[in-house]
Amino acid sequence: MTEPEHPTFFVDRALGKDVVANALRNAGALVEVHDDHFAPDAPDTDWLPEVSQRGWIVLTRDARIGLNILEQVAVASSEARVFVVSIDEATGESMARALTQALSKMERLTQSHRAPFIARVYEFGKVRMWKDQKKLLKTLQQVIEP
């Protein structure tokens, strides 16, 4: 299966329903919103595999996804591609601005790095890898074979 020219971004509940999604759509991105597909309180470990199976790229502000072992395992085992907004005291508008500025960088990173991975998005659209495929698969292996 080939990658679509423009991937679909999945905005999780931590980013809200409107401001970020609408800004990304206005910038030309394909966007799906958490609450349109899952219960508002659905655990990340439940929706991550389904979102990944659909080929969508996860956008969140929940940095625990890269710290919580169960969520790292869910990312790794489902081969998810995740971008975490890392802005102190972020507002919907500041997160929307950072993500729209980072849009082309995120698309390039998804093409140049194999899943699974977790990257961070900072102010002014700066994007940096946080946990690459090698780190996440190592975490998964440690859980499977302690």
* Any domain includes 3: no
Q: How many domains does the chain have?
A: 1
Task: For residue 55, give the CATH number of its domain.
Answer: 3.40.50
pLDDT at 89: 86
Higher pLDDT, 6 or 52: 52
* Any domain includes 137: yes
* Any domain includes 113: yes
| Spatial distance between the Cα atoms of 99 and 43, rounded to a whole number of angstroms | 24
Split at pLDDT 50, 70, 90, the class of 88 is: confident
Helix ranges (H only) for the chain are 19-26, 44-53, 69-78, 92-112, 133-144
Per residue in 100-115, pLDDT tens? 999 999 999 999 999 9
Higher pLDDT, 4 or 130: 130
Domain with 104, as residue range(s), is 8-144
Split at pLDDT 50, 70, 90, the class of 143 is: confident
Global pTM value: 0.94
